[in-house]
Chains A and B, each alone.
Chain A
């Protein structure tokens, strides 16, 4: 009966991804429409109430998401969206990046960048620590020079900068 080929183990089919994307955009549309309702969608002395426009936009998003879902169901593209190899590549890039963002909240951007760079170079790039650490520190110092000194735009700082007396 089922002639469709199941995607290989560990992979995600394009069809599943299309449906997931439609669901996500649809949910956002619904949230926007509800938010619009809270702002009021009637008419007052200043013209249309502030929620009118978001409400309409939210409804169009929901309708459009239904449209993309219908398209996905009709074409039923069972090609592979991400196989296991590619999924691993994406995760290997995204994981450290998310960790960098999480680390930069308590530690500040400079320290987190140095750690992130040195970490990725050492763990994924196969560099020895004696070259990874200087590169990480060097890029952090360069960032400092560009942002704090040259353009005078402050970046997020943490306890280390305070300890060094820089913040």
Chain B
């Protein structure tokens, strides 16, 4: 019940006029960012982050996290009305959301999506409320080897659980680590990998990388597709909301399953995108009638939305309690925490309870605010997408570069954004995952420090990662994750050779 008392205190912090105003502002900016192609949640949070450097951390995190919720909702709006996912995690919503909207039920599709998303988000926050104290208690027993093992597990699970090529995941992730080491070494004070360039001494900010990789890279992709918005006009009335509320309980099984998938994928670094696809796939597999899927089945909207949002909120838990973010956006927010002078990890719960519980309380309120706002502003935001792209495209570009400049007042960073945008575009087209790169850039220094400190503790002996049951099991689990794709390939090769051997035998 300790958590509940903290939560009540958190609500005390959050319930002020200023913070409620920040919530509304954050959600509105988030929806805008989610609706506009090219500007997604990670990128939007990166752009806003430099503007919060001077703010009080609680206010800043409320603004940024509410932007995240808003962006998740905005992404679903364009998926349903325009068949253009505003966010990678709302791709699965287009499968049934757009067909339902085309069939003249746009309001039903939108309300179903928003309400199930809100339900998923609230379920995620409840999970965080219940688990966070416990996870932090547990993590207090960690020292450097344990922390390195947890980072290792987080990165290994990208390789093991990722949908793409494991080698490409490794390359992308290691590039992130390499970028993170550029500049001043935090332990020795030496300069590393600057190759004599004065502009590289301050290092490469992950914010600049995110703006280039996600923001401009995504825009290039959109331009290449030859963008055309044929949206469906929609206005959501109170009656639609009531009808969707009555319809939602009938989807209880899909909701429950999606929330479970979402929370799991959010806490482990699977992320919202994987969660929404997985949940959609499960909904289809277990459906009694499969023929409705892809044509506007309500379960096909409810499932990815609930999973997407519960994963998005749950990604905050490992970020706060362990310092390992569960999604790219959470990684950016964690970078923000470090810039504001807070150290993510279990000590945060002891040193900064106001911050942690203020954030958790704001997640309850912020998501309710987001559902209400997104329902009210659908017509407004779908008008924005009708602005011709020759106008809105350059505006997005200008905002991205201005945002990159504000990170360190460095013109050089604008050139870096250009370089990262090309890399992001090529990586996306060739199916290199980008989230591991960002995560590695944010965590790189911390992971390296943990590794070096463990090495100092043990005098260079790698067996320190098996020195007790806790660190040993985490390390072994990480190794198993790394080996997972290899095992999978070996068994499939064996099966194939057996099949070909079997095919050769009958004469």
Enumerate chain A interface residues (CB-CB to B < 8 A): 14, 17-18, 21, 25, 28-29, 31-32, 35-36, 39, 43, 46-51, 53-54, 57-58, 60-61, 64-65, 67-68, 71, 81-82, 86, 89-90, 92-94, 96-98, 100-101, 104-105, 109, 113, 116-117, 120-121, 124-127, 135, 139, 143, 147, 151, 153-156
Contacts and interface: CB of A to CB of B under 8 A. Distances in A.
B181 A116 contact: no
Contact of B178 (A58, A92, A117): A58
B405 A71 contact: no
A153 B406 contact: yes
A139 B395 contact: yes
B177 A71 contact: no
B171 A93 contact: no
Contacts of A47: 187, 452-453, 455-456, 460
6 contacts: A17-B426, A48-B455, A57-B177, A61-B171, A64-B171, A93-B393
Q: Is the interface of B mostly helix, strand, loop or mixed?
A: helix
A13 to B, nearest CB: 12
B192 interface: yes
Contacts of B398: 100, 109, 113, 116-117, 139, 143
A97 B185 CA distance: 34
Nearest to A72: B430
Contacts of A36: 192-193
Contact of A25 (B165, B175, B402, B422): B175
Contacts of B8: none
Contacts of B425: 90
B51 A57 contact: no
A148 to B, nearest CB: 11
Interface residues of B, number: 58
B395 A50 contact: no
A31 B288 CA distance: 56
A71 B192 CA distance: 32
Contacts of B181: 32, 53-54, 57
B418 A81 contact: no
B278 interface: no
Greatest chain A CB density within 10 A among B50, B388, B402, B452 is at B402
Contact of A93 (B220, B388, B414): B220
Given A47-B187, A147-B406, 11 more contacts: A28-B178, A29-B175, A32-B181, A51-B192, A53-B181, A54-B181, A68-B167, A101-B418, A120-B390, A139-B395, A153-B406
Greatest chain A CB density within 10 A among B51, B167, B455 is at B167
Contact of B401 (A46, A89, A100): A100
Interface in B446-498: 448, 451-453, 455-456, 460
Contacts of B414: 101, 104
A81 B401 contact: no
B223 A90 contact: yes
B250 to A, nearest CB: 43
B397 A100 contact: yes
Contacts of A53: 177, 181, 448, 451-452
B322 interface: no
A156 B414 CA distance: 11
B390 A153 contact: no
B455 A153 contact: no
B401 A71 contact: no
Given A116-B398, A117-B398, A21 B430 contact: yes
Contacts, number: 166
Nearest to A82: B224
Interface string B227-238: 000000000000
B193 A17 contact: no
Nearest to A143: B402
A34 to B, nearest CB: 9
B56 to A, nearest CB: 15
Contacts of A93: 219-220, 223, 393
A25 B5 CA distance: 51
A101 B406 CA distance: 15
A122 to B, nearest CB: 9
Greatest chain A CB density within 10 A among B174, B190, B429, B460 is at B174
A124 B397 CA distance: 15
A43 B452 CA distance: 11
A141 to B, nearest CB: 13
Question: Which 5 A-B residue pairings sit nearest by Cβ, starting from the closest?
Answer: A125-B390, A67-B167, A64-B171, A47-B456, A35-B193
Greatest chain B CB density within 10 A among A53, A117, A126, A151 is at A53
B401 A101 contact: yes
A151 B192 contact: no
A97 B193 contact: no
A153 B177 CA distance: 30
A155 B410 CA distance: 10
A120 B394 contact: yes
B195 interface: yes
Interface in B374-431: 388, 390-391, 393-395, 397-399, 401-402, 405-406, 409, 411, 414-415, 417-418, 422, 425-427, 429-430
A53 B336 CA distance: 24
A121 B391 contact: yes
B419 to A, nearest CB: 11
Contacts of B452: 47-48, 53
Nearest to A147: B402
Given A116-B397, A153-B406, A60 B174 contact: yes
Greatest chain A CB density within 10 A among B216, B219, B414 is at B414
Given A64-B171, A120-B394, A97 B165 contact: no
Nearest to A131: B391
A29 B174 contact: yes
Contact of B405 (A51, A86, A121, A156): A156
Contacts of A135: 391
Given A48-B452, A104-B401, A54 B171 contact: no
